[in-house]
Structure formats: C-alpha cells, structure tokens
Chains A and B, each alone.
Chain A
C-alpha cells in the first residue's frame, strides 16, 4: 500500500499570512493514464471532509482561490495564500492512483496562533 505522510502535523497560523502543508507518498503517484490522483481535503470541526483540490492542482467548485495545490511524483504541497478564520481545521492529502486501497495522510491540524 502507498503510505502518505504530511508535515507539519500541527500548523499554527496568523490570520492574513500564508500557510503551506507538505505531503509525500511512498511511491510515485503518476498513473499509467498520465494523471496524478492526489487530492486534498479540508475537515472543519464537526463537519464531514470536503474535497478542495483534485489531481494535484484542480480546485473544486466553490473553493476560494487562496487555496492552491502543486507538486509531482511523490512530493506535493497545499498552499493557503492568506489564511482566514474559516480555514481552521484538519487538512488531509489522499492518493487514488494505486488503489485499492485509497490511502490518506495523517492530517495536518491548522489553528490560529
């Protein structure tokens, strides 16, 4: 199974400042069809996970453009250009290239300093 790791696991942020989360996979996530199935999810307190980014860098509908995804192969990054209060929560990366199983990272908890 592909192991997903994230860093940091806890990210204290200052409102209005940028933030960045790293995600690494134990093997390349490039699929034989040429796509890279790396997603990012946000989970606000008390809510279900919400997909923010799919296939590395594509924002889902309704996701603010302050969120961006980048990376390739085994190294990926989620960036928030200017953190807002509503961004507090846990962020997960997930790979869908080498499934089954789908595998998630351990999560990064984002909280205001």
Chain B
C-alpha cells in the first residue's frame, strides 16, 4: 500500500516560485514513477508531468515546459514539484500521484496573489 502525504498550503506572489513536496511511505520513492496533476476551478484536472517508467526520464507537459521541475530525494523518500514564474492562473490544488494514478496525495492548495 502506497501513502502519499503532501506539504501544506502556500500563498505566493505573482512571479515567485513554489515547491510542493510529497512524502512516500509504503514504498521507496525510487520505486514509484511519480506524477503531478493540478486542479483549477476553470480547467478541471490537468496533468503536469511525471517519470516515464520505461526509461526513468521525467516528462513535462508542453504547457509547463521551462517553468516546472520535478525531482526526488531518495534519502527521505520525497518527491518535489517546483513551479516558477507564477501567475494568478496557477492558483490550484496540486496533487502527486503514481504513474497509474491509483494512489493520490491529499492535495496542496497554492494561491497566487498580486
């Protein structure tokens, strides 16, 4: 059984960066191909990127290319998603999830204000 516990809500200014963490228990983070999905009120569920289990490479959605970085810390079994140059439309709940999307974190609300 995989459990994913995310960091708490964040409030950021336009132009800033945010880094959301996802603690894995039950498995090692290196055993999970972690993906990130966000949910905005206007766009529903939106895939941001994740690890391709075939080659271990991280793949990002074109929309977020250049602004998002997904990393892992195997010493703490944590995955991270950092989004830079925030705009107000980045206000959303961000979820970590497994590649098969069968396990999800509880979500992290990121609010971007001017």
Contact = CB atoms under 8 A, between A and B. Distances in A.
B62 A102 contact: no
A104 interface: yes
Interface residues of A, number: 20
B104 A101 contact: no
Interface in A58-113: 60, 92, 94, 96, 99-107
B85 to A, nearest CB: 20
A102 B105 contact: no
A24 B45 CA distance: 17
Interface string A26-65: 0000000000000101000000111100100000100000
A41 B100 CA distance: 12
Contacts of A48: 95, 104-107
B101 interface: yes
A49 B47 CA distance: 13
Chain A contact surface mostly: loop
Interface residues of B, number: 19
A107 B44 contact: yes
Interface of A: 39, 41, 48-51, 54, 60, 92, 94, 96, 99-107
Given A48-B106, A102-B47, A104-B45, 11 more contacts: A48-B95, A48-B104, A48-B107, A49-B101, A51-B101, A60-B102, A94-B45, A100-B47, A101-B62, A102-B101, A104-B46
Interface string B56-94: 000111100000000000000000000000000000000
Given A92-B44, A104-B46, A54 B61 contact: no
B44 A102 contact: no
A43 to B, nearest CB: 8
A107 B95 contact: no
A87 B100 CA distance: 22
Contact of A54 (B45, B95, B102, B105): B102
B35 interface: yes
B89 to A, nearest CB: 17
A11 B107 CA distance: 26
